[in-house]
Every structure is written in C-alpha cells, then in structure tokens.
C-alpha cells in the first residue's frame, strides 16, 4: 500500500446524507496529502454537493439516470461508449488509492474499473469485498456523527484533527439563495424545517410540523421556510395548508446547492433523519434532529446541534418496524418536547 499516494479516488455515489457524512474525509486526506490529486466519484444527481469544494481536484459523475434511460430505450451502443469513456477517464488518473466508502457491489465495480493500485472498502458486502485489497469493518461503538469514516481514517493511520463534514454550496448558490429570500420578503432571521425522508417510520407527524411552524413564528417572530425535494410536494402542500402562519413552502423548488445555501443562512434548522438535516449540521446551522426508528448518531460533535431521541425497547428498528405503522418512537416526540429542545438549543447556540 502506497504510504504517500499521489492520487486518491473517493467513491460514495449517494445519497445526500451519506455524502455529507463522508465529506469529513476530504479535509483529513487533504491535510495528510496536500499535494495529492483528490477525486470523488458520485451519482450525477449529487454533483452539486461536491463541485464547489476547493479541496477536491475533480468530481467525476456517473449519470445513472441517463444511462438507465439509454438501456431502457435500447441505445446499447451509446451506453457502451459512454461507459467506456468514463472508465477511461478514471483509469487515466492512475490512482494510488481507491476508497470505496459505499461498500456495495455497484460501488465496488466502479472501484475495480478505476484500476487503482490499492482498493480499500468500508463495510464491503454483496461480493464487493472480493474486489478490494483491504476491507475495513464500518461498525463502531461510537454514537458520534460520521463515526465510521473517522474509524476508516484511523485505520489508514491518518491524523484526524481536521475531521469535519465539508459541504460547500458555492458562491452561485449563495447568490441564488439571496434572490429566493428576497422574493419571499425575508430580510432577517428565519428557521428552516426538513420534514421529508425516504421511509415512513422516520417521519414525524405532519400535523406536528404545521403546529411547530406556527409556534416558531409566534415565539421568535421568525418566518419559517420548508425545504424538500420534487417528490415531497404533495406532503408539503398538506403541511402548509394546516398552518395558521405564513409557512414558506419551497419543497421541490430549489436544488441541493441552493437548499444548502438557504440552510447556511438560516438561524435554526429542524428535521428528521434526512439529508438536509445532516447538511444543516455540516453547515454550522443551529440544528435539532428528530430521531426515532433510526439513530445514525446521537452526538453531533457541535454545541449548537442536538438530537431529540427517546429510545423504546423496539427502537431503533431501522427498516423493520414492528408497530404496525403506529411509530410510537416518533409520536412520543411531542410539540412540547420539541419546543423545549429548540429553546435549549438556541440558548446554547
């Protein structure tokens, strides 16, 4: 294994939160190898999270959705050429290290195709372990955010003093966020909420979001902005319709970089276990995370970011809830408890 690699490929294809967590390795690697060429391979859908980071030399993108359409439409020649071009561009980098942070077969195949001298997999499974030169178990006893990546850095013998999530929205996104806020009539402090996530057991009750937005507006005199993706618009409209206050619904209206810029400018962020919540912590926004069926971390490493989580005998159940859709782990996070946590957070921030 090359002790001082001249070129390093990081593979974490997605999704939002996982890329945010893994980004903590960027400053560690840059500190350890200031002259190395540092490249990240990601799904094209997430490139805006990485392309503005000055510590990366290149962001290579896998246009997964486009390739899926080519395959569906039978354009196999075009698909093969595109695949060959991406593989060639990676091999031309002559990587000394390839770090597969995803540990799945799809990421492992890309690690193998990249042709690096040493391939290191984090928690490699699905057969991808056989494509690695070295595998590192991602399991830890720590409840600190991003602990598996901190473990990886330690296993590689790297100084971890620079370990910190490293998401940079970029100047263009910051300017666009300013334009969005101007259009909403927001000139002072505001709160941002992130109600949406991938699995129902991670959701908080929609009526609670409406009540929370009303209470924040009433208590602090702040407008509240709701962020989410294109698939969240129906739920967002329902939450907005039950508000007495003027909740600003931006779900599906801003991309990842602009969402990040809006979060960075906000005075408070509140969300469930979702990428935007983790992004909020990474950007230094005072953040309250509401966890129940999942608890990816309980310690944020920041004084101005806290987790509200009350363990039940059945939690965290991850992908296998046993409560027939009742989700008591989230239901017990009442408005009163959440507002008390917000008050405590803002006193600490």
- Which residue from 219, 227, 302, 210 is spatially nearest to 266, judged by alpha carbons? 227
Same CATH topology for 7-155 and 171-348: the answer is: yes
Rounded mean pLDDT, 320-334: 92
Rounded mean pLDDT, 282-299: 96
Render pLDDT for 155-173 as a digit per residue (tens, 0 to 9): 999 999 999 999 999 999 9
Render pLDDT for 297-316 as a digit per residue (tens, 0 to 9): 999 999 999 999 998 999 89
pLDDT at 281: 98
pLDDT at 57: 99
Q: Check pLDDT > 70 for residue 126.
A: yes
pLDDT at 143: 93
Pairing, β 305-308 against β 287-290: parallel
Rounded mean pLDDT, 324-335: 93
- Map out the domains of the chain as residue ranges: 7-155, 171-348
pLDDT category at 325 given cuts 50, 70, 90 is confident
Q: Check pLDDT > 70 for residue 1.
A: no
Render pLDDT for 184-198 as a digit per residue (tens, 0 to 9): 999 999 999 999 998
pLDDT at 59: 99
Beta bridge partners of 178: none
pLDDT at 2: 64
Percentage of residues in the chain with pLDDT exceeding 90?
93
Which of 130-139, 140-149, 169-178, 311-320 is predicted least confidently?
311-320
| CATH number among 3.40.50.720, 3.30.70.360, 3.30.70.1070, 3.40.50.2000, domain 171-348 | 3.40.50.2000
pLDDT category at 114 given cuts 50, 70, 90 is very high
Rounded mean pLDDT, 64-81: 98
CATH fold of the domain at 7-155: Rossmann fold (3.40.50)
Rounded mean pLDDT, 84-91: 98
Determine the Cα–Cα distance for residues 201 and 197; give it in Å rounded to an integer: 9
3-state helix, strand, coil in the chain (%, to 5): 45, 15, 40
Burial letters 13-38, b for 16+ CB under 10 A, else e:
bbbbbbbbbbbbbbbbbbebbeebbb
Rounded mean pLDDT, 204-214: 97
Average confidence score pLDDT of the chain: 97
Determine the Cα–Cα distance for residues 257 and 36; give it in Å rounded to an integer: 26
Rounded mean pLDDT, 236-249: 98
* Helix pair angle (64-72, 76-91), 10° resolution: 150
pLDDT at 3: 79
pLDDT category at 77 given cuts 50, 70, 90 is very high
Determine the Cα–Cα distance for residues 224 and 240; give it in Å rounded to an integer: 11
Q: Check pLDDT > 80 for residue 238.
A: yes
Longest pairwise C-alpha distance within the chain: 61
Rounded mean pLDDT, 249-264: 98
Rounded mean pLDDT, 207-233: 97
């Amino acid at each position: 294994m090359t002790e001082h690699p001249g070129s390093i490929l990081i593979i974490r294809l997605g999704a939002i939160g996982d890329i945010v967590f893994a980004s903590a390795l960027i400053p560690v690697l840059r500190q350890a190898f200031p002259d190395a060429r540092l490249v990240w391979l990601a799904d094209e859908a997430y490139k805006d999270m990485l392309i503005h980071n000055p510590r990366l030399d290149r962001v290579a993108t896998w246009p997964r959705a486009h390739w899926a359409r080519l395959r569906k439409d039978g354009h196999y020649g075009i698909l093969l050429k595109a695949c060959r071009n991406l593989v060639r561009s990676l091999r031309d980098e002559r990587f000394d290290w390839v770090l597969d942070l995803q540990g799945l077969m799809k990421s492992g195949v890309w690690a193998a195709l990249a042709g690096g001298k040493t391939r290191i997999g984090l928690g490699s499974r699905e057969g991808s372990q056989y494509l690695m030169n070295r595998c590192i178990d991602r399991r830890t006893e720590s409840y600190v955010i991003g602990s598996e990546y901190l473990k990886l850095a330690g296993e590689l013998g790297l100084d971890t003093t620079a370990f910190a999530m490293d998401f940079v929205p970029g100047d263009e996104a910051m300017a666009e966020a300013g334009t969005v806020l101007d259009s909403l009539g927001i000139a002072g402090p505001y709160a941002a909420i992130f109600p949406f996530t991938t699995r129902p057991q991670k959701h908080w009750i929609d009526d609670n979001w409406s009540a929370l937005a009303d209470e924040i507006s009433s208590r602090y005199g702040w407008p509240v902005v709701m962020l989410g993706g294109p698939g969240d618009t129906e739920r967002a409209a329902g939450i907005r319709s039950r508000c007495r206050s003027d909740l600003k619904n931006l779900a599906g209206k801003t991309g990842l970089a602009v969402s990040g810029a809006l979060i960075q400018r906000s005075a408070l962020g509140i969300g469930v276990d979702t990428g935007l919540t983790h992004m909020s912590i990474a950007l230094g926004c005072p953040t309250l995370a509401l966890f129940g069926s999942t608890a990816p971390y309980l310690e944020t490493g920041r004084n101005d970011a806290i987790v509200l989580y009350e363990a039940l005998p059945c939690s965290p159940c991850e992908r296998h809830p046993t409560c027939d859709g009742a989700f008591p782990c989230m239901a017990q996070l009442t408005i009163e408890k959440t507002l008390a946590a917000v008050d405590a957070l803002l006193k600490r921030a």
